[in-house]
Every structure is written in structure tokens, then in C-alpha cells.
Amino acid sequence: MILGIESSCDETAAAVCIDGNITSNVIATQRVHEQYGGVVPELASRAHQQKIVPVVQQAFSEAGISVKDLSGVGFTQGPGLLGSLLVGTSFAKGLAFSLNVPLLPVHHMKAHILAHFIDQPFPEFPFLCLTVSGGHTQIVRVEDYLRMEVLGETSDDAVGEAFDKAAKMLGLSYPGGPEIDQLAKSGDSQKFSFSKTVMPGLEYSFSGIKTSILYFLRDQMKVNPDFISQNIHDLAASIQFALIQMLLDKLVLASSETGIKEIAIAGGVSANTHLRNELEKIGIRHHWKIHIPEFEYCTDNAAMIAISAYFQMKNSSNNEIDLEVQAMPRMKF
């Protein structure tokens, strides 16, 4: 019985995994950041401190277990915001030490990928995973539960960040990705186009398109101050189309270069409707076996941390409590 704790950014989350099955998954989303248009690290850290105990207690009660039943404590070690990570790390260390059970540090981005092993059907190894969140954009070759290799990633902004910044330019609230997704549903994705930076191989870059959107809106607003409000649906659809196209082009290249046709997506942006629909279509064309996570496991959650800790514990002979383990804001993959 493993407790998983997630506190890397602005969700305080706890989940229980019993023999590889998730039996509770509790998430407290911090609303305090909405008024600032982005996550304020100090406020995030304080909110984690307030919420971590009730969230963990609720995870125990929903799983029908007591703290004494635990056989391991998993937590997000990084990457993420230092002040936020410290809350989960300290809590996990204290709990594991008091119970004398293994302390299992988890890499947040690897956990997004391992979320695919919560519900059947599981991907078969090796598979490719497009991991897309607010801080990362990566194509990962997954050999097994613990061995993963980044084949390509962004050299600047992450795609989730591009969604959120574009949304901010459109006057939408934070996080803007889901709002763009919603507005795009009744928009024309071919109405506007934006210039993109073409990167070699499997690398991504989103700073060029972000600037292109900014200049386009600025020029249009000079001519017509109501341009954004009059075209909000078409703008959302066109921006979304361009960003998702960039993601998929490289994924197709990665599959043809590696010969791997078992394809998964993970991370917050994998909740995007257009990405999910397009992937299904491309998958049919290229004879891919597609793995799309349930919505609740796309954005940050602790079920993915608990399942990762479970695989770590199962596949490692050394599960001692190492109280020297530190939170790592820029943890290497």
C-alpha cells in the first residue's frame, strides 16, 4: 500500500495505490493564482502547506486504509517549483521516517508517462510518448517502467506555456489551455495562420509562434480595437490548430525514425480535444496503436506518483529511507 504525493506546482494531491491499483485520487486545485494570470510560487507553497494534511487524510479515508497500513511513501522530487516541492518532500520524508517504510522519490514527467499503467489497456514496451505540459514538451522512448530516453524536446517554451501565453494575449484567464480548447470548438481553425520556427530533427521551439501571434494581434487591434472579441472562436481554433500541428509533425517523424508504432500522449496538454482527435486520425493512417490517458490522469495528479512509486519499489532491491533526498526543481530526466 503506497501513498503518492504531488506538490510540484499548483495542485496539492494525494493518492493510494494497493498492489498496483489506484484506490483513491484526491486533488485540491489552488484557485488563488487565477487573479494573477499565472502561478505565484510563494502563494503556491503556502497553499500546499495548508492543504497537504487534509488532502492526504481524504486519500486514506477514500481508500479505506489507515496511515499505519502504508508500505511506502512516494512523492514528486522534481522538476517543479522549489517552494512547492519542499512541502511534499518534507511531508513524505517525515511520514516515511515515522513509519519506517521506503521513501520513493518520483520524477514528475516520468510519472505523467507511467499514468498509462493505471487503467487497461496498457501500452506495450517499447513505446513513444509525447509528453506535453506547462513546463515540458518531449518525445520520449519508453523501454520499460524505469528506463526512458528523451529523443527530442523544446529548446525554449513548452507547448502548455504557449497555450497559456496565447490565451493571456486573448484576454482569457489562467490556465488558458482549457479555455482555448473550449472556445476553439465553434471556431474556424483555418481562418488565421502564424509563422513557426522550423527546428531540426525532433526538436521543438514555441517562442517564434508566440511572437507571431503577439504581433498579429497587435497589428489587427490597431486597425480594429474589437478584433479579438469579434474573432475569439476563430483565433482560439487557429492558434490551437497551429500548436497541435507542430506537436504531431515531430511525433510522425519520431515514429518513422524509430519504427515504433505504439504511441502515447501524456501531461496537461494531452487533455486537448483537438490533439486527441487528430491523434486518432493520424493513428489510423499510420497504423499506430494509440494510448490516450483518461482526463483525470492528464493534468497533475497523485495517482501517477503512487503508481510510479509502486513500480520503483517493485523493481528495485534498494528501498531504504534516504533522508538526504532533496527536492530538485530542475531534476534531470
How many residues form the binding site for ligand KG4 (CB under 6 A)?
Answer: 19
Exposed/middle/buried for residue 25 (C-beta within 10 Å: 0-12, 13-18, 19+): buried
Site for ligand KG4 in 266-305 (CB under 6 A): 267-269, 271-272, 299-300
Kindly state whether residue 138 participates in binding Zn ion, applying the rule CB under 5 A: no
The three-point CA angle 87-97-83 to 5° equals 10
Q: Which range of residues in 66-74, 129-137, 145-153, 209-217 is near ligand KG4 by CB under 6 A?
A: 129-137
Which of 75, 127, 163, 204 is close enough to bind ligand KG4 by CB under 6 A? Answer: 163
CB of 174 to ligand KG4, least distance (A): 8
Site membership for ligand KG4, residue 164 (CB under 6 A) = yes
Q: How far apart are CA 56 and CA 67, in angstroms?
A: 9
79 binds, among Zn ion, ligand KG4, none (CB under 5 to 8 A by kind): none
Work out whether 177 is an interface residue with ligand KG4 (CB under 6 A): yes
Shortest Å, Cβ 41 to ligand KG4: 14
Q: Which is nearer to ligand KG4, 182 or 211 (CB)?
A: 182
Residue 278 exposed, middle or buried by CB count within 10 Å (0-12, 13-18, 19+): middle
Q: Quick one: 181 or 234, whose CB is closer to ligand KG4?
A: 181
* Grid cell listed for 108: 514528475
In the three-class reduction of DSSP (H, G, I as helix; E, B as strand; rest coil), residue 17 is classed as strand
Choose the contact partner of 272 out of ligand KG4, Zn ion, none; CB within 5 to 8 A by kind.
ligand KG4
User: 133, 231, 238, 312: which one contacts ligand KG4 (CB under 6 A)?
Assistant: 133
140 φ, ψ (degrees, to nearest 5): -115, 135
CB-wise, 102 or 267, nearer to Zn ion? 267
The end-to-end CA distance of the chain, in Å, is: 26
Q: Specify the DSSP element, H or E, that contains 176.
A: helix 176-184
Task: Give the nearest distance from C-beta 13 to Zn ion in angstroms.
Answer: 11
Query: What is the CB neighbour count within 10 angstroms for residue 174?
Result: 17
- Which among ligand KG4, Zn ion, none contacts residue 163 (Cβ within 5 to 8 A by kind)? ligand KG4
Q: Using CA atoms in the order 93, 268, 332, 161, what is the torsion angle rounded to 10 degrees? A: -120
Task: Report in angstroms the alpha-carbon separations of 317 from 74, 158, 312, 313, 320.
Answer: 16, 36, 9, 8, 9
What secondary structure letter does DSSP report for 88? H
Q: β-pairing, 103-107 with 72-78?
A: parallel
Nearest to 14 by CA among 77, 72, 60: 60
Residues 72-101 that bind ligand KG4 (CB under 6 A): none
Which of these segments, 38-46, 50-58, 99-107, 300-308, binds Zn ion (CB under 5 A)?
A: 300-308
According to the binding rule CB under 6 A, does residue 134 interact with ligand KG4? yes
**178 makes contact with ligand KG4 (CB under 6 A):** yes
- Residue 300 interacts with Zn ion (CB under 5 A)? yes
Where does this chain bind ligand KG4 (CB under 6 A)?
A: 9, 133-135, 160, 163-164, 175-178, 181, 267-269, 271-272, 299-300
Binding site for Zn ion (CB under 5 A): 133, 300
